[in-house]
Structure 1
Amino acid sequence: MTMNKYLNYWGLIFTIVILIPNIVFAITCKDGFENRYKNKLVGFLEQIARFGCFVNMFLIIPFMSKGYWFKQGETIYLVLGVILVILYCLGWIIFWKEDSIRKSLYLSIIPTLLFIESGITSGNILLLIFAVIFAPCHILISYMNAILI
């Protein structure tokens, strides 16, 4: 079983794996990432929701988690999660040297889908709430930074 009462080990693995390309980017691109989109509210909500998603991918708060909604929920959670994590890592490889709207959208939509899918299939209500806040904020920030080059 992938979950005990408080920890989702697969969610922890998914989180670590999607953070790896971001860490590699931060190490190899000394200039870092310049956020050109200056909407403070959207930025604040995105950051809170991002960390909420990361933590709730592996931390289970019992009264906020209903467990898998259907019989094969865990299998669907794992299969879709692995596919989305692989797609995210492949996106980093494919778009590594590119600065484009498609790169920004791809690398913001895939983790958003992972968080939403994980929240729905695992019945993690708090993760789903954070993911629904994260999705529009993260995608908007990524898109706006791509067009404000």
Structure 2
Amino acid sequence: MNITVIGGSDGPVSILIAENNKASWINLFGLVIVILMLLPNIIYAVKFHGIENKCKNKVMSWIEQIGRYSSMFLIIFNIGLAEFGFPSAEAYITYFVGNTVFLILYWCIWILYFHKITFWKSMTLAVIPTAIFLLSGITSRHYLLVISAVAFGIGHIYVTHQNAR
């Protein structure tokens, strides 16, 4: 039996993480997170296709898109650059529980949003994915993900604000 210690974790948490993730180049938890974040967005795109983007600031739109796709890529794929892993069992628990709570909240707000679109729901739906990417990057000491999440947050919150006014 080959047991790998991940990111300085010791004891049962490193064994759990190594056995479940097989210490591979793909983060299955990150993949699930991205899929769960994309599903309501796909439903929205189908239901409300053709809605005009009111944000005319091309730089902020580019920052949003670059931040979005790089965050989704980095949360899923371990590319071996600036990735250090979970430093402790507490960091792993914070990552898992925090992202679970954020995803449940995200889906609940989407359900409310589909019933009635309001400014606060739009802004909350812009902030939660940013928080998920930030939490994932900070708890796993994945600094490129943190940088991408900050860029995404700045762009996404700005663009959403322009569209929700």
TM over 0.5: yes
Question: SS state of the match for residue 35, structure 1?
Answer: coil
Unaligned runs of 5+ in 2: 1-16
- 1:93-132 alignment to 2 at 5 Å? 93-132=111-150
What code does the residue aligned with 1:44 have? W
Which residue pairs with 1:7 in the alignment?
Answer: 26
Unaligned runs of 5+ in 1: none
TM-score by length of 2: 0.83
Is contact 1:64-1:126 (8 Å) kept? yes
How far apart, in 2, do the equivalents of 1:144 and 1:43 lie?
11
- 1:1-149 alignment to 2 at 5 Å? 1=17, 3=21, 4-31=23-50, 33-147=51-165
Question: SS state of the match for residue 72, structure 1?
Answer: helix
Provide runs of 4+ in structure 1 moved above 4 Å: none
How far apart, in 1, do the equivalents of 2:118 and 2:89 lie?
41
Question: SS state of the match for residue 81, structure 2?
Answer: helix
- 1:92-120 deviation per Cα after TM superposition (whole angstroms, max 9, x unaligned): 00111323210211100011100100100
How far apart, in 2, do the equivalents of 1:21 and 1:132 lie?
22
Question: SS state of the match for residue 52, structure 2?
Answer: coil
Q: Report deviation, 1:70.
A: 2.6
What code does the residue aligned with 1:141 have? V
The alignment-based identity, stated in percent, is 34
Is contact 1:57-1:127 (8 Å) kept? yes
Is contact 2:71-2:149 (8 Å) kept? yes
Question: SS state of the match for residue 89, structure 2?
Answer: coil
Q: Note the aligned Cα RMSD (angstroms).
A: 1.3
Q: Report deviation, 1:29.
A: 2.1
Larger radius of gyration: 2
Is contact 1:5-1:62 (8 Å) kept? no
Question: SS state of the match for residue 6, structure 1?
Answer: coil
What code does the residue aligned with 2:115 have? K
